[in-house]
């Protein structure tokens, strides 16, 4: 037998790009047909879209030039970007909400890495949130006071989203624990709250907080409309998170509770050290789905006359000068919401992988 046996290479059609195409796109007659149909659809749709959105588009022109053009009118965004992002906030003070947004996004970006989680990060969040409040409201030397009725655009959307989701999550966990409680009064209260809130749409809660709730306040006492909308979003989201967390608690084997009891752990330590870490890890995917849905639902505040980024965009479209360019505006809004939703989804996958690695 020869010392140097001839090496037989695999067929070209089973390796490389050709092999991948055959294995994934043309491995069966049905998949081949679907692949060809998809390619035909993209061929008929993408070139006209690229020509409309980029090649023939107007970017920094007056509205009349857009009407005479054949492509997209992105000028409706570029010419009104400051109003879309900041609403009726005083024009010469719009650096303040811009700074607040950058500060908030910076804290969120830094907090995404679990290695940075420490008490100092908590202090940084406290200082950062206080700074954002001062920047938005003013009323201190060098910063004129700005009423909350003038807050709008992207800062308001982020305010309702970030603070709403942050407050709703721990409240939802508490409600889930209350629903599992052996104390009848606590269990009944949590069940009633969860089922009542889940039985009505968010719009009804926003209307109640905006219109009906002030009727029950003593004369001369008012509560900020943004705060009322924020509370409605928190209460609504917490009820759905509670049911997801309850599912995670029910998935924990009875042996885990017995192991904690054998170690002499009380209820608080059992939940904090044994049960909740496992339950919350199990329900990361459905929890993030609810948070993403809640993030998109914040746009419903438009019905109670809060000028979030959706309302400011609609205000621009109501201007006769820019009527008829709604496609471009809603594509821009869709990109903003997609970036927020995709970031949350990507972070949840990353966190789930890290927690799985830690357990191994």
Please provide the DSSP assignment of 90-148 as one string: -GGGTHHHHHHHHHHHHHHHHHTSGGG-SHHHHHHHHHHHHHHHHHHH--BTTB----G
* Domain-embedded: residue 211: yes
Q: Which two tokens stand for residue 189?
A: 């209260």
Residue 134 C-alpha from the chain's centroid: 24
> Which residue, 230, 98, 133, is CA-closest to 90?
98
Q: What is the pLDDT of residue 18?
A: 75
Q: What is the pLDDT of residue 164?
A: 87
Find all residues with CB under 8 Å of 48, minimum gap 6, and list them: none
* Domain-embedded: residue 196: yes
* Domain-embedded: residue 189: yes
What separation in angstroms does the CA of 23 have from each of 15, 158, 163, 173, 223?
9, 44, 47, 45, 62
* Domain-embedded: residue 251: yes
CATH number of 189's domain: 1.10.3720.10
264 is in which domain, residue-wise?
Answer: 154-306
* Domain-embedded: residue 298: yes
The structure's pTM equals 0.83
Question: For residue 204, is it left (φ>0), alpha (ψ between -120 and 50) or beta?
Answer: alpha
* Domain-embedded: residue 28: no
Place of tokens 């409706």: 76
What separation in angstroms does the CA of 191 have from each of 179, 199, 242, 254?
6, 12, 10, 23
* Domain-embedded: residue 230: yes
Q: pLDDT truncated to tens, each residue of the chain (360 aa)? A: 455 556 656 555 556 677 777 777 788 888 889 989 999 999 999 999 999 999 888 899 888 888 888 889 999 999 999 999 999 999 999 999 999 999 999 998 998 888 888 889 889 988 988 899 899 998 888 889 999 889 999 999 988 888 888 899 999 999 999 999 889 999 999 999 999 999 999 999 998 888 888 888 787 777 888 888 999 999 999 999 999 999 999 999 999 988 988 888 898 899 988 999 999 888 988 888 888 888 888 888 888 888 889 999 999 999 999 988 999 999 999 999 999 999 989 888 888 888 775 555
Number of domains in the chain: 1
């Amino acid at each position: 037998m020869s010392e140097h046996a001839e090496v037989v290479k695999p067929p070209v059609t089973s390796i490389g790009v050709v092999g991948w195409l055959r294995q994934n796109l043309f491995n069966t007659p049905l998949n081949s047909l679907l692949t060809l149909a998809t390619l035909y659809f993209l061929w008929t749709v993408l070139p006209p879209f690229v020509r409309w959105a980029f090649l023939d588009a107007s970017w920094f022109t007056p509205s009349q030039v857009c009407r005479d053009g054949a492509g997209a009118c992105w000028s409706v965004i570029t010419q009104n970007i400051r109003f879309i992002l900041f609403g009726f906030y005083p024009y010469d003070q719009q650096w303040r909400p811009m700074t607040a947004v950058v500060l908030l996004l910076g804290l969120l970006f830094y907090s995404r890495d679990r290695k940075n989680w420490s008490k100092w990060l908590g202090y940084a969040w406290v200082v950062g949130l206080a700074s954002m409040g001062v920047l938005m409201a003013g009323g201190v030397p060098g910063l004129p006071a700005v009423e909350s009725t003038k807050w709008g655009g992207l800062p308001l959307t982020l305010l309702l989203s970030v603070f709403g989701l942050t407050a709703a999550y721990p409240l939802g966990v508490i409600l889930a624990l209350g629903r599992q409680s052996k104390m009848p009064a606590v269990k009944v209260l949590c069940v009633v709250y969860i089922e009542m809130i889940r039985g009505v749409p968010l719009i009804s809660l926003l209307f109640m907080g905006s219109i009906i709730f002030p009727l029950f306040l003593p004369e001369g006492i008012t509560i900020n409309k943004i705060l009322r909308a924020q509370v409605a979003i928190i209460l609504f989201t917490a009820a759905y998170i509670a049911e997801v967390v309850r599912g995670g608690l029910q998935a924990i084997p009875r042996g885990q509770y017995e192991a904690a009891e054998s170690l002499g752990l009380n209820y608080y330590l059992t939940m904090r050290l044994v049960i909740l870490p496992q339950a919350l890890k199990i329900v990361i995917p459905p929890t993030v789905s609810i948070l993403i849905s809640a993030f998109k639902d914040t746009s419903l505040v438009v019905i109670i006359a809060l000028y979030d980024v959706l309302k400011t965009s609609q205000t621009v479209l109501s201007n006769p000068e820019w009527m008829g360019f709604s496609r471009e505006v809603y594509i821009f809004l869709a990109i903003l919401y997609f970036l927020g939703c995709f970031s949350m989804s990507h972070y949840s996958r990353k966190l789930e992988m890290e927690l799985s690695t830690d357990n191994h």
